[in-house]
Amino acid sequence: MNSFDIETLAVRAGYDQTQEQENSEAIFPTSSFRYTSAAQAAARFSGEEKGNVYSRFTNPTVRAFENRLALMEGGEACVGTSSGMAAILSTFMALYESGDHVICSQSVFGTTKVLFNKYLVKFGLEVTFVSQTDTSEWKKAIQPNTKAFFLETPSNPLTEIADLSTISALAKANGCLLIVDNCFCTPILQRPLEQGADIIIHSATKFLDGQGRGIGGAVVGSNELVDEHVRGFMRTAGPSMSPFNAWIFLKGLETLPIRMAAHCQSALQLAEWLSLHPAVEQVFYPGLKSHPQYELACKQQSAGGGLVSFKVKGNQAEAWSVIDHTQMVSITANLGDVKTSITHPATTTHVRVEPDARLRAGITDNLIRLSVGLESIEDIKADLARGLDLLR
Ligand SMILES: *Cc1c(COP(=O)(O)O)cnc(C)c1O
């Protein structure tokens, strides 16, 4: 399978057909598995014989999803988890201990910050947050006990790009692992393992599913880090992916290449259109030449992605008015769906960030985030124009 292109891997990799000769992958909704004898049960439990034991850690549908995603990311191993947050938690519980220090981009997903600041610190993990784009801050933050760098690129909602080759070289030179949350790009647009990352985190909830149906996550990387350590934690602590969800994500992966291409094409057109609209102050999209890191984005990603953010001329009232004048797009904070979603970060996804810190991070009250879906681009524009045209 390794020699196939990613579009083929997305459709065919990772699944062993059963004796029923099904063409579409089967779901195995079973909690345990039967053995032919007591001796076989013993061999499975000791690990002497490979095979299914118990669906907390071995399920054929989950394994198919894991195998497929691992191949698509170019990693040796993958562990499916019950959510994207469970993927991050499992990685840190498995690989780190009290007294270890992590350097994390300050632009990561808000809940990831809460996980570090409120919970992982309880177990003695130290975390320093640094700029997504200023690599010198990463260098300055390194301590003798620094063991991991964590980031996601592009950032949400301002689409700032972290420089993967510079940051991964810094991590390597200092004996640290680079962990990248690849939720926004997916392996279709960006393969961080090829750019020096050691571990990939996914929220399968977003583009991998692509139709907003289920919560799940994944960790991808080497056999030693992921199959041995992260899977070891997962099988013990149990934040496991359900077979039903694994099946949804498995089928989601099949259309991921064409969906990402369509998301990116519409997002670029919408970003260009918004840039020209007189009621728009600024547009954030890595595929626009006006993006301050356009060159870096082109180097790391094959396209700009599905998220576009923009500031309207005005304040919160004007931003809310644009949102409230939509009739078709979904007012929801989810992203990566075939349905376009619109959200006001300052009062939703980033409301728990202190107002000062929020402003410093550029999340102003006139900022709107779009996750561009697969509806007609003209219908999406018309839906946004209704509110925007009133602001003139
Ligand atoms: C949504 C999201 C997560 C968390 O994933 P869940 O599946 O909701 O737990 C992590 N990272 C990023 C970048 C996300 O967008």
pLDDT at 263 over 80: yes
At residue 352, the pLDDT reads 82
What tens digit of pLDDT does each residue of 212-232 get? 999 999 999 999 999 999 999
Q: In this structure, which residue's CA is closest to atom 8 in ligand 1? A: 84
Domain extent listing, the chain: 6-252, 257-391
Where are any strands of DSSP class E within 4-106?
A: 77-81, 101-105
* Whether residue 187 has its Cβ less than 6 Å from ligand 1: no
Tokens of residue 243, six digits: 């077979």
- Asked if residue 154 has a cis previous peptide bond (ω within 30° of 0), the answer is yes
pLDDT at 351 over 90: no
What tens digit of pLDDT does each residue of 20-40 get? 999 999 999 999 999 999 999
DSSP state, residue 160: P
3 state SS of 177: strand
Q: Average of pLDDT values for 286-312?
A: 98
pLDDT at 392 over 80: no
Superfamily of domain 257-391: Aspartate Aminotransferase, domain 1 (3.90.1150.10)
pLDDT at 2 over 80: no
> 3 falls in which pLDDT band (50, 70, 90)?
confident
pLDDT at 358 over 90: no
CB-CB contact of 323 with 369 (8 Å): no
Q: In this structure, which residue's CA is closest to atom 7 in ligand 1? A: 84
CB-CB contact of 155 with 367 (8 Å): no
Q: For residue 388, how many other CB atoms are within 10 A of its CB?
A: 23
* Whether residue 83 has its Cβ less than 6 Å from ligand 1: yes
What gap in Å lies between CA 82 and CA 88, rounded to an integer? 11
* Whether residue 343 has its Cβ less than 6 Å from ligand 1: no
CB-CB contact of 320 with 330 (8 Å): no
> 353 falls in which pLDDT band (50, 70, 90)?
confident
pLDDT at 87 over 90: yes
The number of the ligand 1 atom at minimal distance from the alpha carbon of 183 is: 13
pLDDT at 1 over 90: no
> 125 falls in which pLDDT band (50, 70, 90)?
very high
Average pLDDT, the chain: 96
What tens digit of pLDDT does each residue of 167-202 get? 999 999 999 999 999 999 999 999 999 999 999 999
Closest CA to 334 of 306, 304, 358: 306
At residue 359, the pLDDT reads 86
* Whether residue 183 has its Cβ less than 6 Å from ligand 1: yes
pLDDT at 108 over 80: yes
pLDDT at 115 over 80: yes
What gap in Å lies between CA 176 and CA 171, rounded to an integer? 5
Q: How far is CA 11 from CA 98, 144, 209, 210, 255, in A?
A: 42, 45, 14, 15, 8
Pocket test for ligand 1, best of 104, 111, 182 (most atoms within 8 A of CB): 111
Q: Look at the pTM and tell me if it is higher than 0.85.
A: yes
3 state SS of 215: coil
Tokens of residue 97, six digits: 């201990």
User: What percent of the chain has a predicted confidence (pLDDT) above 70?
Assistant: 100
Cα torsion angle, 340, 320, 357, 311, sign: positive
CB-CB contact of 360 with 353 (8 Å): no
Beta bridge partners of 178: 149
How many angstroms separate the alpha carbon of residue 85 from the centre of ligand 1? Answer: 6
CB-CB contact of 249 with 216 (8 Å): yes
How many angstroms separate the alpha carbon of residue 359 from the centre of ligand 1? Answer: 22
> 357 falls in which pLDDT band (50, 70, 90)?
confident
At residue 319, the pLDDT reads 98
At residue 149, the pLDDT reads 98
Residue that the structure tokens 């005005």 belong to:
314
pLDDT at 126 over 90: yes
Residue-level length of the chain:
392
* Whether residue 217 has its Cβ less than 6 Å from ligand 1: yes
* Whether residue 90 has its Cβ less than 6 Å from ligand 1: no
Q: For Cα atoms 297, 298, 303, give the angle at the middle one, nearest 5 degrees.
A: 90
* Whether residue 84 has its Cβ less than 6 Å from ligand 1: yes
Whether domain 6-252 has CATH 2.30.30.90: the reply is no
CB-CB contact of 209 with 248 (8 Å): yes
How many angstroms separate the alpha carbon of residue 109 from the centre of ligand 1? Answer: 7
Pocket test for ligand 1, best of 203, 209, 334, 348 (most atoms within 8 A of CB): 203
What gap in Å lies between CA 176 and CA 150, rounded to an integer? 10
Tokens of residue 277, six digits: 């609209």
* Whether residue 293 has its Cβ less than 6 Å from ligand 1: no
CB-based contacts of 380: which residues, under 8 Å, 6+ apart?
266, 270, 328, 329, 340, 372, 373
Cα torsion angle, 118, 119, 123, 124, sign: negative
